[in-house]
Amino acid sequence: MGWTQRARAGVATLGTAAVAGSLLLVPAARAAQPAAAGAASASSTGVSRSAGTNGARPPVLRWRTCAGRFKCAVAKVPLDYDRPGGPRIDVAVLERPAEDPARRLGTLWVNPGGPGGSAVDLVYRAATTFLPAEVLSRFDIVGMDPRGIARSTPLQCYADPEESPVQDLPAFPQGGAQTAAYLSAVRAYARTCQRQAGPLLSHMSTADVARDMDLLRQAMHEDRISYLGYSYGTELGATYAAMFPGHVRSLVLDGVLDPREWAGDGSRTLEQQVRSGDGARTALDAFFRACDATTTRACPVSGAARATYRRVVARLRVHPLQVPGAPGPSASPVPSASAALPVAEPTSTAVPAPTPTPSPTPSASSGPSGSTEDALTYAEFSGIVLEALYSREGIAPLGQLIAQVDLLQSKGGSIDPGDIAGVEVLRRRWAAGALVPSLLDRRAPDVFGAALPKAVYDDDGGNAVICADTHQPGPAAFATSARWAERRNGGVGEAWSWSSAPCAYWPSTGADRYAGPFGAALANRPLVVSSLNDPATRYAGGVQVAHLLHAHLITFSGFGHTSGGSSVCVDRAVTAYLVGGSVAGLPSRCSQDIAPFVTDPLTGAVGGSDD
């Protein structure tokens, strides 16, 4: 069974993580001169002081059998690679040994994105749902929960995330009063992180994670590794390849962030740098075309999709939709600078192929001044639309939502409970992070027992990575950025514009972050997969990175964040590349296997209905 079929077989029984905390599933680019073989030097980056792992002693990996065919270990790595003999932290590792040791090609490391996604979860899910037999046969599949994330030493700002002042913030504020309240909340959040998170807060950069990976590579006695990363995981892959080019066998990046844009220069917000909103708007335009091309039974606004959407949005911007007597949706997840990019960004039964990307944060039910607690606001509606675009399976619910809200708005005060039922179901599913399935965002079941620490799932670690990596301006710039994003891409752009707001008040960027150069020669040319309709990592970013890394580019035509599990064409190309190590003969274009508004014959998952 191939990647695609195995992935679909598990979708129906697995939940989905919310867009928030997944991007962000959304990183981007850096400089392109080739680095010398081996580790990047301090002078070449202008940022990092530590060359490679700086002589750190590789940990001893004490593997334990866990969850059947898997092996678990907890490794000790330096907190600060400038002090390789100093304090150490834990990183959790899961490996599924190759099924055919005699034909083994090495280790294949995977990462689902986020930042904040669990690679341990991804290994378990990938091996049991979507990795093809050939890959499972030839590679040890390895996942390391990044420092501060999940089962590794966690970075936590609040013992109880419900106490966070950003817990119930909207996807984006509307008006001066909401903007002031929003910024006050993220300031309080950042200050609490500074007080409570401990020394790990200053050592959460992607470069630190890359160093951890290489130290584990040494501990495993592997000369070179293969790597498969989605969404923000492409940033990690590009960074590892730039810092340790001599230790990369093959590199696959799907749902790509340009690492130069990701780093930034402090003059623009993250959204202005990576322009995830451009991808979201392109995906929304593709939805309009697909809806208009089908029947009104499959998409109720067919024939007038764009016009109906614009009418709904124009009304919501002025008046939130009052829903008399209806309970509001449950509280939304914590707003996150890492909201994504994951989580293109295989998955959590809530986690790859995203956890976007940083992803934008779902909104709470409160609306602008004058609205009731259970009103559907413009911000909440925009958040739901954006998440629906994360998967082919979200396309049909999106058409239904637009039609139902339009109907309710036209009825004015004559709404009855039957009218609101469909909208409330979609709102609740969105708030719970269950609107659309995501292969990359599913958490593994608790099957590791005492072999690994209990996972901690929150957005604090992901936010810390983004704020460590990216150089961003002060708080006043975010309102300006939001206006720019709204003019450029509407509500789906404005939702992205606030995703990194905590960084405006963050104590500091990472002491040892890596900001380039990129493009070092590798043993084999990399493979980049970029989707035309990705709502988190825009297609142009993938084109840029393919040029930057001298990679082969596959243009993916379909809906959703990353291509993972939705195209036999992509799956076969990735498998051939990983096994053979060459991009020769690979296709330049691939399509989604199942078109929108068609039922998946394997799972019954629907992107619409056939007549």
**pLDDT tens per residue, range 296-324:** 999 999 999 999 999 999 999 999 987 65
The pair of structure tokens assigned to 172 is 């984006």
- Structure-derived torsion over alpha carbons of residues 356, 196, 180, 462, reported in degrees to the nearest 10: 0
589-591 and 225-230: which strand pairing? unpaired
Question: In the structure, what pLDDT confidence band is assigned to residue 365 with cuts at 50, 70 and 90?
Answer: very low
Quick one: pLDDT band at residue 55, thresholds 50, 70, 90? very high
- Return the higher-pLDDT residue of 435 and 251: 251
pLDDT at 340 over 70: no
- Copy the structure tokens of residue 451: 């072999």
Q: What is the pLDDT of residue 411?
A: 79
- The three-point CA angle 554-354-289 to 5° equals 65
User: To 5 degrees, how large is the angle CA 582–CA 588–CA 592?
Assistant: 115
Rounded CA gap, 497 and 501, in Å? Answer: 8
Query: How far separated are the first and last CA of the chain, in Å rounded?
Result: 30
pLDDT at 18: 27
pLDDT at 194 over 60: yes
Q: How far apart are CA 80 and CA 587, in angstroms?
A: 43
pLDDT of residue 569: 96
Q: What are phi and psi of 174, to 5 degrees?
A: -125, 120
What phi-psi label fits residue 559: left (phi over 0), alpha (psi between -120 and 50 degrees) or beta? beta
| Per-residue confidence (pLDDT) for residue 603, from 0 to 100 | 52
- Where do the H-state alpha helices sit in 490-557? 491-497, 539-548
Element (H, E) at 190: helix 175-196
pLDDT of residue 168: 83
What tens digit of pLDDT does each residue of 130-187 get? 888 999 999 999 999 999 999 999 999 998 888 999 888 899 999 999 999 999 999 9
Q: Are 529 and 563 in contact (CB under 8 A)?
A: yes
Lowest mean pLDDT among 27-36, 190-199, 255-264, 395-404: 27-36
Q: Which residues neighbour 498 within 8 Å (Cβ) at sequence distance 6 or greater?
A: 171, 172, 173, 182, 335, 360, 361, 478, 482
What is the rounded CA–CA span in Å between residue 256 and residue 540? Answer: 9
Query: What pLDDT score does 23 carry?
Result: 35
Higher pLDDT residue, 162 or 385?
385
pLDDT at 51 (0 to 100): 62
CA distance 101 to 364: 51
pLDDT of 196-217, one tens digit each? Answer: 999 999 999 999 999 999 999 9
Q: Which residue has the tokens 């599933």?
A: 25
CB 495 within 8 A of CB 195: no
CA 601 to chain centre: 27
Cβ atoms within 10 Å, residue 336:
33
Band of residue 284 on the pLDDT scale cut at 50, 70, 90? very high
The pLDDT confidence band at residue 398, using thresholds 50, 70 and 90, is very high
Ranges of H-type helices in 325-431 = 378-388, 395-411, 417-431
Q: pTM for the full model?
A: 0.85
Q: Cβ distance 279 to 535 under 8 Å? A: yes
Q: Tell me the pLDDT of the chain averaged across its residues.
A: 81
Residue 369 has pLDDT above 50, yes or no: no
> According to the model, what pLDDT value does residue 460 have?
93
How many residues comprise the chain? 611
H helical segments located in 91-131: 119-125
Which of 329-338, 339-348, 452-461 shows the lowest mean pLDDT across its residues?
339-348
One-letter identity of residue 155: L
**Mean predicted confidence (pLDDT) in 345-356:** 30
- Helical segments of 276-394, H only: 276-292, 305-318, 378-388
Q: CA-CA distance, 583 to 304, in Å (whole number)?
A: 43
Q: Which of 366-375, 392-401, 519-528 has the lowest mean pLDDT?
A: 366-375
**Nearest C-alpha neighbor of 518 from the set 538, 545, 554:** 545
Band (pLDDT 50/70/90 cuts) for residue 265 is confident
DSSP β-bridge partners for residue 88: 78
Give the pLDDT score at 19: 28
10 Å Cβ neighbour count for 268?
18
Q: What are the tens digits of pLDDT across the range 482-523?
A: 999 999 999 999 999 999 999 999 987 777 899 899 999 999
